[in-house]
Amino acid sequence: MSGATAETAWPIPWEDPYPTLDEMRSLSQVHYLAGLDCHLVVAHQEANAVLSSPEWSADPRSNLAMAIRLDVAGGGGELLAKSVLFSDPPDHQRLRRALGGHLTPRAVEQMRPRIGSIVDAAFCGISDSEGFEVMDSLAYPVPLAVICELLNVGSDAAHVLRTETPKMTAMLDPLASTETVTDSASAAFAAMLEIVPLVAERRIDPGDDLLSFLVVNSDEGSDLESDEAIMMILLLLAAGHETTANLIGNATLCLHENPDQARWLRRHPEHIGAAVEELLRFESPIQLTSRVAKDSVTIGGTTVGSGSQVLVSLGGANRDPVVFLEPHRLDLSRTPAGHLAFGHGIHFCAGASLARVEAQEVLARVMLLDPPLEDRELIVRRGLSRTFRRIDQLQISLP
């Protein structure tokens, strides 16, 4: 990164990135960021092409600077390379196949009643006559409870994972500093201390949970190594937990800031699925993802050399006026199609169906608040992140 940091070299304000992304897109679909020695893709067509083409690698070790940073951070690159998110074919297909049918739309839909019960339990601690903090009460606890139940993880381990998994997300951040990545790797190892004994237990006495499936699969079929199974679990916890939490937080904030849309959704609850898709487009929980050119590639009229890093602005692609009419207007009646909030191609988010249902169930319940959400007061504090559209605090109080 030529001695620069994301703080000094990143050209896009993290509080509101969209005006700058619009300005950059009006000049070119692809920009070279000299301070970070990488290219940034800000248009939908080019973003879609990078995410779907086999000419690009998801393995961070394919770029020398990224490999050095991860190696300095304690071998993080070797750890990430064992995850489905950062692997290339043929390993990627093998790792993704190891999930079986546990996270398919059909399987997740069968889980909806149980997810709804978890959401109801979370709302039991919320009184209509009092305010509440969305992130601590709903956005983080609900997806964590769902994934812990899916893995059949006990309450003691869940408490540790609740503390450590938010720190682990820096390993998914292409702009994170070496220090932050080091802290993230430490959090991952702390979470491993909770997971490894569970893996040993399931190896002896497997159940019908996802953790048992991954362990048995690694033992019997040699399709998944033990450390790959553990990394899969860490990825489900870190990526799924953080992404869904910020989806719920951002969606709640958007509905509060767009009262006409909140009222529309309350009148049309049957459209909650399409509404979540529009909310995903409007405020992508993950704003950036990274790829590395395997060979010299031309994208958007710009040539990217072999081994060079490209950052794909998912937030920029999802506000591209070439694809989305009035992209800066939240329209829950919009026909949802084409957003890249969950990525595209072979790395399309494996947990997308789970995140969708969790968000639908939470937001459907939020719409039942009395007084309604849009009539309440709200205090928001965003987390300083360029990769995640993160919310640290979202306090809702009575008017």
Has residue 55 been placed in a domain? yes
Exposure b/e, 30-40, CB count within 10 A at least 16 = b: bbebeebbbbb
For residue 90, cis peptide bond before it (omega within 30 degrees of 0): yes
Has residue 283 been placed in a domain? yes
Has residue 325 been placed in a domain? yes
Burial of 120: CB neighbours in 10 Å, binned 0-12, 13-18, 19+ = exposed
pLDDT of residue 221: 45
pLDDT tens track for 212-249? 888 886 544 446 777 788 888 888 877 778 889 999 99
Read off the pTM: 0.93
Task: Give the total number of structural domains in the chain.
Answer: 1
Has residue 1 been placed in a domain? no
| Averaged pLDDT for residues 65-77 | 64
pLDDT of residue 219: 45
Has residue 140 been placed in a domain? yes
CATH (domain of 131) = 1.10.630.10
Q: How high does pLDDT run on average in the chain?
A: 88
pLDDT at 290 over 70: yes
Has residue 135 been placed in a domain? yes
More confident residue, 230 or 105: 105
pLDDT of residue 168: 83
3-state class (DSSP) for residue 291:
strand
Cα distances from 172 to residues 9, 90, 120, 265, 388, in angstroms, run 19, 21, 31, 33, 10
Number of CB atoms found within 10 A of residue 353's CB? 18
CA distance 88 to 85: 9
pLDDT at 3 over 50: no
pLDDT tens track for 303-352? 999 999 999 999 999 999 999 999 999 999 998 789 999 999 999 998 99
Residue 30 near residue 41 (C-beta atoms within 8 A): yes
pLDDT tens track for 245-266? 999 999 999 999 999 999 999 9
Which residues is 38 bridged to in the sheet? Answer: 33
pLDDT at 108 over 70: yes
CA distance 315 to 8: 21
pLDDT of residue 4: 52
Residue 58 near residue 86 (C-beta atoms within 8 A): yes
Q: Which helix or strand (DSSP H or E) is residue 161 part of?
A: helix 155-168
Structural domain that includes position 10: 6-397
Has residue 190 been placed in a domain? yes
pLDDT tens track for 109-162? 999 999 999 999 999 988 777 889 999 999 999 999 998 899 898 777 777 777
Residue 49: pLDDT band with limits 50, 70, 90: very high
